[in-house]
A and B are shown apart, each in its own frame.
Chain A
């Protein structure tokens, strides 16, 4: 009886310990969340999409990851979601490029080669979506992403033009074999979102909006997207058009993603449900 009690008491201690650890890791997760996502306040911006001519697009407050999802974070997701591992994932959700740069046995990332803190690429839209759902968020909408990207401070139009020119050059010369770590571009919005330019291209939720069919990616599309004469518009048009040309199974060495959240506690809530 005593023994049993002892066992019971050990079990209780163990179980309490487990809960403590769980709570601690839970707190760590919340800290992680708060550290890695920032509030993007509501506002409006001029989209280069021609569907609502001249009208600013309103965007509600949301939270956005400071940086793109890294190889290490994506590996953690795969550990807990084996159905998204390269040899498990159904072909309908990816093409053959899916995580093709993770060459180590069992298709794990060889961090010597791909880097822990480099953005994960070669992930399909489906996979990006699944990750963000798992992380308690979602992919940012196209408007959220572009609105956030415009929250940049420049001192002069010359500075804007120089920035845009560099950006367009980047689209023609990105070296996908040597992508930098997240946060390494030095490009940051006024609320602290990093690397929306110059590192990778990123999936958004509605990357192929309904108007894509109407535009049909004609030669005139670029012209229509430059009607605002905005310094961003040429580079933006390349982003919109390139995104529209992909399909949700596309996995290339240039596309990664970051997640958006409707409220800061979404990660907390998700884990609470699981507990």
Chain B
């Protein structure tokens, strides 16, 4: 009697284990309007991997963008592991973040329209992963974090199921974006069919909580024929706006404030993950430069009225698509998960403040500085 009960339970369990194998149909690649759709089924597996959590040539830390140095299209192999990390997001405000690659936001991935990406992600939320020790198998991102650990990242554990949702990918979410348990890895392909700047985030419910806890980043997909002003651009940066909903916990650390998150009442609204980083480390240019910003509002819930005090946006490509060109804009309204690629001319030597013109958010931290030197 007992034996049969045990066997039955175990069979049910084994069925759960195997369920994923039956749930998704294999698809076949096809072309439409010159774009590629129909990626093979994602693979979920366990691996002994304990190497660098971020691997890939074109992954960099904000606000850097590694320029593309290849002709035509490329097949990228990219790893961004999920790690819990204790980080500082404002002076004295530390919390245990759920992250892609160890920082908030995660690394910036730069690819070209039409590139294929083979993406691997291990859920290492139950492992202590050090992100400040670059190795040659890692990415430029790891080197940059090691050289500039402004978030004071320290390894932590916080086991939870997680997933990856690349807005730059056109795939079925119940396959590629599925949740994986701590210790599991997922591998899937996607093609960057559309040019522009796209957020990525964790799609495991509560998506609000997972994104607010730090699981978001940006993919910049450069258009295959470029933007009209490419040859005039002197400096190029990525700026990401996002909110934190934190309150003081019992110890030194802050914790997620779900009531604040549900009522969209953030404790901090920030550029590039930290309340003062873009003042402490201003973007740098010179008078007369044409500066390009890829600005993404990663939310999870707020909007951004992005403005640069003292400048007018010469060109704005909404979502970063070269066909969506606007001119002479003072402010760009970005809903949650919207982006724009913005060119402006730095008029003279001095300071230019990047700001969310929704001033309540600016006063919670959504500001930064562009420092301009003399005209050269």
Residues of A within 8 A of B (CB): 92-93, 95-97, 125-126, 129-130, 133, 138, 165, 168-169, 171-174, 176-177, 205, 208, 213, 216-219, 221-222, 234, 237-238, 241-242, 245-255, 270
Contact = CB atoms under 8 A, between A and B. Distances in A.
B158 A174 contact: yes
Contacts of A270: 2
A172 B213 contact: yes
Contacts, number: 124
Contact of A168 (B9, B174, B203, B258): B258
A270 B5 CA distance: 13
Contacts of B52: none
Contacts of B247: 169
B215 interface: no
Contact of A169 (B5, B19, B159, B258): B258
B360 interface: no
B204 A245 contact: yes
A96 B48 contact: yes
B183 A169 contact: no
B154 interface: no
B83 to A, nearest CB: 14
B249 A176 contact: no
A241 B126 contact: no
Nearest to B259: A165
B183 A95 contact: yes
Interface string B5-43: 110011001101101100100000000000000000000
B143 interface: no
7 contacts: A95-B46, A171-B256, A242-B160, A245-B180, A247-B16, A247-B181, A254-B126
B207 A219 contact: yes
A187 B258 CA distance: 21
B203 A219 contact: yes
Contacts of A218: 205
B314 interface: no
B23 A169 contact: no
Interface of B: 2, 5-6, 9-10, 13-14, 16-17, 19-20, 23, 46, 48, 95-96, 126, 157-161, 174, 178-184, 203-209, 213, 247, 249, 253, 255-259, 262
A252 B183 contact: yes
Given A234-B258, A241-B205, A253-B159, A176 B126 contact: yes
Contacts of B20: 247
B157 A173 contact: no
A222 B205 contact: yes
B217 to A, nearest CB: 18
B162 to A, nearest CB: 8
A97 B183 contact: yes
Nearest to B18: A247
B126 A97 contact: yes
A162 to B, nearest CB: 11
A122 to B, nearest CB: 8
Given A96-B48, A222-B205, A250 B181 contact: yes
A221 B183 contact: no
A216 B174 contact: yes
B165 to A, nearest CB: 10
Contacts of A129: 6, 9-10, 13
- The 6 A-B pairs of least Cβ separation, nearest first, read A245-B161, A172-B256, A252-B159, A248-B13, A169-B255, A245-B179
Contacts of A246: 161, 181
Contacts of B205: 217-219, 221-222, 237, 241
A199 to B, nearest CB: 14
Nearest to B181: A250
Given A238-B206, A250-B183, 5 more contacts: A97-B126, A126-B10, A126-B13, A222-B207, A252-B126
A120 to B, nearest CB: 15
Given A133-B6, A242-B161, A173 B204 contact: no
B255 A172 contact: yes
B10 A173 contact: no
Nearest to B184: A95
